[in-house]
Amino acid sequence: MADLPRPALSAESISAQLDQTNVIAVVESHVEKLKFLRSLIGQRVVEQKSTRSADGAQSHRFVLFIVDDNASVEEYTAELENDDFTVGAYTVALHTSNINQWPSVLYNDIVVVPANMLLDSLMDGNVKLSQAHLIVISDAQRIILMNISHPILRIMTDFYARILDGPRVFATVTSAPERWASLDLTRLEIAFRAQSFFLATKAANSWYGPLEVVVEYDKYIPQESDSELNSKVRDVDPGSLLLRTKHFRTARRVLHELGLLAVDLYWRHVLDELCGSTTAEDVDAVRQKLSQLRGCLPNRTLVASRSSSACNVSPKLARLLEILSAYEEQGPGFRGIVFSRDRGVARILAELLSSPHAGLPFIRPLAFYLGESHEANHELELCRAFEEGRHNLLVLTRCNEDVEIPQASAIISYDLFEDHLTYAYFHARSKGRHSHLIHMVERGNNEQRRMLNHVETVDADLRGWIAGFAQGENNAIPPKTLYTSLDPRFNDEDEGEHREYILDPVTSARLHKPDAEAAFYRFVATFEQQAVWNQGTSSITLEEIDSGNVNGRYRCTVTPPKSTGIPDVVGPFCATKIQAKREALYRACQECIRLGYMDYRHFPQLPWCSDDPHSPAGGSLQEVQTANTSTGTHGYPRKSPDFWANSPKYPVSTLYPTVVVPDSLAGESHAPVVILTRAPLPQIPNFLLFFAGARATAHFYKGVPFQISPVQLQALRGYTNRVVRSLTNKPFDCRAESLLCFFAPLAPSWQPLSGAPGFLGPQLRVGEHIPWDSVQLTADYFAVPLWSNLTSLDDSARDAVVQDRNVEFTMRHFLVKVRHDLTPLSKVDDSPREAEYPNFLEYCKARRKDFEGLEDEKQPMIEVSAVPGVLNNLHPMSAPQTPPAKAPLKYLIPELTYKFTIPASTFRTLWLIPSIMTRIDSYLLVKELDAKLFHLSIHEQQLLVALSTRAAWTESNYERLEFLGDAFLKVIASNFLYVTMPNAGEGALHNARQSIIGNKILHDCAMRVGICPYIQHKRFVPKLWQPPHTPGAPSTGAQSQQQDQSHTAGKGGDDVDEDVEMADAESSEGNGAKGKQKRSKKQRQMDGQNTLWMGDKIVADVVEAILAAAFLSGGHEVALRAAKRLQIPLPNVAQWTDFARIAAEHPTAQHAHPSVVDLRLDTVEAVQTIVGAIFSRPALLAQALTHGSAFGGTEGASYERLEFIGDAVLDFLVARHIFERHPHLSPGGLTLLKGAMVSNRALAAFCVHAGLHRHLVLASDQLANAIAKYVEALEARRSREYELATRENRLPGQYWLDLPMEPPKCLSDVVESVIGALYVCDSFFEVGVGRFFDAVFKPFMDAHVRLQTLSANPKVTLLELLQAEGCQQHAVIKIPQDRQNAPVHMEVHIHGQVVASATDLSAAIATRKVSLAALDALTNDPELLARICDCGSGESKKQHQQQPSVKSDEVMQDEEAEAAEVEEAMEAIEEGEL
């Protein structure tokens, strides 16, 4: 500790220093910090209370505990709670209240408050720093990392510095001990007027990691000629008889990483291997050509000088040679390790480094690679060779990062790895502070800068774990902040094909043994966050036991979280530690996956590459079709979930249960049903189902897998076939081996455990609750007689489904009740079917074939209701089909009735199964896409909505999200162009922005990425449903033709005529053959199930919706990462701070133009008072207030560029505000509201309201006069509107809409430019802008802009809203009255339903009232339009063709008259005549 720049003191000594001066304490971990703070604060609180007792006149003073962000308030409040003092939290809810809420928390001993809220409160005068006796600033290390002015720094300079005798300040900085020597605290010491000290602990002296160095290299762009060899090789074997895609993929990586010479070496090795292999005779010709090509390969020598035209290595490799040459002075003691991502690159790299032309004679490299089942002797020999110096440089891949190699003096990360576990292994392989950890980073590559920053920025707990890990403490599970990337460690195509692995059925990912450690850590971290019970402690214990076992003496034991119920997993004895640890962790993962605890979230994922047919996204671009009718419509192959394709790989003898428990739907009980899958189904979130206006939530519970006997398997097969046959009323027979899931009932003894919704552990053993006798009965018989001498009729009728004939495919009915008051000899009036007959018995004699009479003519009757056909229950408009014209059956004679072998409560749940399985398929696709492309960064419910179009006809679609995503995309595009085009004007920026946010660009991005097949665009058609089964599974009946369409028949078809016609048009293209049989509509529907016909704009809208889903899931950074993964053109932007970083490289993008006008100090202060924020660069404010006329025709900087970015920021803030404020408002309503709030008229009125117009700098008398006239007229109209609103007892409306003049555009422009200037001043963060928006802009707009005030005529607003929603059947109708001079009665009709009505003596007033009532109804009932309008689904078009229009000629004439009367009445109101 002697090398530290500041003293290292004990906790007691630092506390004593606080009596003399402000203190900054540097601590090593979060745990140490909390321990120290509790002791220090407790001591200070006791001292304060003692002082108050001695001087009763002294007012209460508290500890002001300042945290960095809002999310930390609750965490620190809970951590600081103690019996000795009280803790209060100043939360967002208190801060956003309309009144000062500080008095409600000041009575506490400690008040925890975020820095930004404290700054706001100080500026508003709601609290004073002098009220505190101690100010504690937690996590001050975050201030060091920020380039922008942090709120805490502003608090210290603007408020604390003005206090003569202020409270003491105690700040903590959390940093790893090995970084203490280089820690620069000067900035904090000046700002806090403090001295800094290091908290001396035992751990602080225990470990110093390697000295980390970042080395930059130039970007390498291969020339076109550099790829000629790849093309020649491909031409020799165009049919891929010997060469595979993996060869060319590796060749591309070798070229980019190492250069042209490396490609020659790579192909030389590949061709040697292929030419020497034995293959079939049909490839001999190809082998001969490859051999000839091998002989023609040039023999180049390595030239690393970048100044030479003959240089044949990449700049990255040349930089590595320079790095290694610096270690020559270490002589024989040098040991180095180079980590590369790819094994193929590693092998060639080692060979190049050993070349005599590399200039490294002291380097003896070796490409070190050990497979999963390597021999221990080989590992020991390699390690011994490295230790002895026979090889002093190892080139490794991450697959072997855990091998216990002797420590090295140089660890070189040739490729960057965004993985804390790999980072920990780097430390473990180093010699601590006497070694180097070198990160090679491409110069100017912000993505690599982000990765490096993420890896190196670790919290204290993780830093402590890494220190222990590096010193051999491998037992402890890392903290949950450990980040392990989803990139697989074992990803070599040529090595992974035949290795042992665990398959993830959801994403088809493979978990190899080298990946088991990272996967297990991910599982423990997520399980700790989601576990309901106390999870206990997980650990990994490695033992060395001299047991005489021939396999070795090392054994590892893995302890999973206790609440999983999984016992300790003990691995086998192995010869090396790496083998023992890998085997035990791999077995632990196997067990956790088998029990359903680990799933797709924990598996590594292959890189997403749409142009590679072997990648997760590959192979889809070649299958896209273009419609004949429109070049803007394309057909995309429909994606099926990988889950069902992978299910046949699992044995059918073990089944994984998922219990479905729907709530009561339409007042009827639903029994639980279990879905038994062959592969472990991931947790399915609860979702809503609909029927006839009612809704119910389907709950899902996972259980432990269980094995079944062959007899039970056949019973399940028969039961599942019976369920499908009864639901579809058509033949279906599938073998057990072909079914991918089974359905089964559960006995009443099964109950979900309380307190653990959704996910249950081993306590839920579903297999024990399956009534196998009932399953077998249903498998053998579809029905049994209801009437029996063995049981009473009431018992038989309980929970029964019945049918009136003993045939399988017939109508079924729910048995409502036994009617003891009726007999077959009774006559009833409520059953039209028997109305023509004297009684039920006579009806049977007349209508029933081969009727032989009844044994008991006095038996009671049973009352029944028909079982509806299977429906699409995924949309609120789900309703039974049109009832048949003939009279329904209501009563049955028990003796002639048969009881269905599935109980009614169970059958009601099974009746929902087609819709449930369809939604499960949707979730499986969403989970798959989220894991593969977005690495689990988007909430799956949000992503599902983003991928669902209106044509899918589900509860939610993407339209609301698209509204928000469009605004967010506009912001990031504007940011990017503002900083990368520093000299461009507003027009050029607008044009450039279209090249980023245009629909064609977004559609092309979606095509390249390959998300189109995942879009939910097909409406579920129940009549086409079948359960998931393997392709070609034998079945019988009319639907056998469709069973080969997909391995998953549990996907709905789309009954939209446009899709069917599109598919039919494509299939008949170029078909001139005559006499070909025309396909039926059903055949066309089934053929079209695998193709999604979508317009390009729909695809572009989905991209924007995904951005919104990402933003709602994780804010700006997650949404920006999603944009990058969607390949939206934002080059070299990897994180939000990159906008400011790029702007710093172009000073004119971040600072004002040198010719900007100078503002007076009082102008700056006045504008800062208006916006409630400080402009850190006043010159930007000057530019924002300067109109182009101010320069009198000379060159100067006006507000145009700032207006461009301010327009985008304001657009997004408004969109986000109304999206959050109106969570159920339709997209059309959101668009109308946003358009009203950001219109030129509204912004001009706000400009005048805020007073910004007074500070506008211009030199045009004509424009100044126009502004003055507008302001005068606007103020007059405002006063008039407020008086009228007061008189009519209503809120004021948009008074600016009634002005006859257009406002000068500069008024709206200056609002946007001021916002843009504040945004740029805050380094493109919404710190000041958000404050201005929340405090000034939002209250003004909310007070005036509502749906009811969007137009002076509410009817116009109503019709615009319905038109924006795509509704085509609506009208405002005047109802004819029977008598003269009667009040006018108006109604709003939507699809024939009355949604609002109003009556008044004046038709104009009645029209206004009914329109306002309809707007209220649409605003307050979010699902009103969804329930009654299906214009977007395509159904209304057909219905509209069959029904007469709602608007008759008479109604249309009435509407025209009403419109004229409304206008006249409104004019009269304005003129004061009414």
Average pLDDT over residues 1457-1469: 45
Average pLDDT over residues 1142-1151: 70
Average pLDDT over residues 1350-1364: 74
| pLDDT tens column, 862-876 | 999 999 999 999 988
Q: What are the counts of helices (DSSP H) followed by strands (DSSP E) for the chain?
A: 50, 37
| pLDDT tens column, 310-343 | 899 999 999 999 999 999 999 899 999 999 999 8
Average pLDDT over residues 61-71: 88
Tell me the residue ranges of DSSP E strands in 759-874: 783-785, 801-803, 813-819, 861-866
Yes or no: say if 409 and 335 are a contact pair by the CB < 8 Å rule: yes
User: What pLDDT is recorded for position 1450?
Assistant: 42
**Strands 132-137 vs 168-174: parallel, antiparallel or unpaired:** parallel
Distances (CA, A) of 1266 to 52, 730, 1261: 64, 77, 9
Q: Structure pTM?
A: 0.81
Confidence of residue 613 (pLDDT cuts 50, 70, 90): very low
Q: How far apart are CA 329 and CA 377, in angstroms?
A: 33
Confidence of residue 1147 (pLDDT cuts 50, 70, 90): low
| pLDDT tens column, 1280-1322 | 999 988 988 888 989 998 888 899 999 999 999 999 999 999 9
Burial class (CB in 10 A: 0-12, 13-18, 19+), 139: buried
Buried b (16+ CB within 10 A) or exposed e, 66-98: bbbeeeebeebbebbeeeebbbbbbbeebbeee
pLDDT at 202 over 70: no
pLDDT at 387 over 70: yes
User: What pLDDT is recorded for position 371?
Assistant: 62
pLDDT at 1364 over 50: yes
Using the 8-state DSSP alphabet, how is residue 1369 labeled?
S
Distances (CA, A) of 878 to 685, 865, 912, 944, 1394: 21, 19, 12, 20, 20
pLDDT at 1075 over 50: no
What percentage of the chain's residues is helix, strand, coil (to nearest 5)?
Answer: 50, 15, 40
| pLDDT tens column, 111-152 | 999 998 998 899 888 899 989 999 999 888 878 655 556 888
Least trusted range by pLDDT, from 394-408, 1220-1234, 1442-1456:
1442-1456
Q: Which residue has the higher pLDDT, 532 or 793?
A: 793
User: What pLDDT is recorded for position 258?
Assistant: 94
Write down the mean pLDDT value for the chain: 84
Yes or no: say if 494 and 274 are a contact pair by the CB < 8 Å rule: no
Share of the chain above pLDDT 70, in %: 85
Tell me the residue ranges of DSSP E strands in 1018-1090: none
Nearest alpha carbon to residue 287 among 266, 264, 270, 265: 270
DSSP H or E segment with residue 714: helix 710-728
Confidence of residue 463 (pLDDT cuts 50, 70, 90): confident
Q: For Cα atoms 817, 818, 822, give the angle at the middle one, nearest 5 degrees.
A: 125
CA of residue 79 relative to chain centroid, distance: 30
| HSE of 490, CA atoms in CB hemisphere, 13 A | 28
User: What pLDDT is recorded for position 112?
Assistant: 94
User: For the chain, what is the largest distance between any 2 Cα atoms, rounded to a whole number of angstroms?
Assistant: 115
User: What pLDDT is recorded for position 1062?
Assistant: 43
Least trusted range by pLDDT, from 667-671, 1352-1356, 1366-1370:
1352-1356
Q: Which residue has the higher pLDDT, 958 or 1442?
A: 958
Using the 8-state DSSP alphabet, how is residue 126 labeled?
S
HEC per residue, 897-960: CEEECCCHHHHHHHHHHHHHHHHHHHHHHHHHHHHHCCCCCCCHHHHHHHHECHHHCCCCCCHH
Confidence of residue 974 (pLDDT cuts 50, 70, 90): very high
Instruction: Scan for tokens 């609506």, then name that residue.
Output: 1370
Average pLDDT over residues 692-696: 85
Confidence of residue 1079 (pLDDT cuts 50, 70, 90): low
Least trusted range by pLDDT, from 135-139, 1062-1066, 1376-1380:
1062-1066
Average pLDDT over residues 824-834: 91
Nearest alpha carbon to residue 254 among 278, 292, 227: 227
Amino acid at 867: V
Q: For Cα atoms 497, 499, 505, give the angle at the middle one, nearest 5 degrees.
A: 75
Q: At what angle do helices 151-158 and 115-124 cross, to 10 degrees?
A: 30
Average pLDDT over residues 37-64: 77
Torsional class of 632: left (φ above 0), alpha (ψ -120 to 50), beta (otherwise) = alpha
Query: Which long-range contacts does 544-552 make (Cβ < 8 Å, 24+ apart)?
Result: 545/573, 547/573, 549/573, 551/575, 552/376, 552/576, 552/579, 552/580
| pLDDT tens column, 597-610 | 899 999 999 888 65
User: What pLDDT is recorded for position 1460?
Assistant: 46
Q: Taking the CB of residue 1416, how many other CB atoms lie within 10 A of it?
A: 13
Yes or no: say if 1288 and 1178 are a contact pair by the CB < 8 Å rule: no
| pLDDT tens column, 876-902 | 888 776 666 677 889 999 999 999 999
pLDDT at 823 over 90: yes
pLDDT at 182 over 70: yes
Burial class (CB in 10 A: 0-12, 13-18, 19+), 651: exposed
Two structure tokens written together for 990: 């607008």
User: What pLDDT is recorded for position 1469?
Assistant: 41
pLDDT at 861 over 90: yes
The answer to whether the Cα torsion of 729, 732, 737, 738 is positive or negative is negative
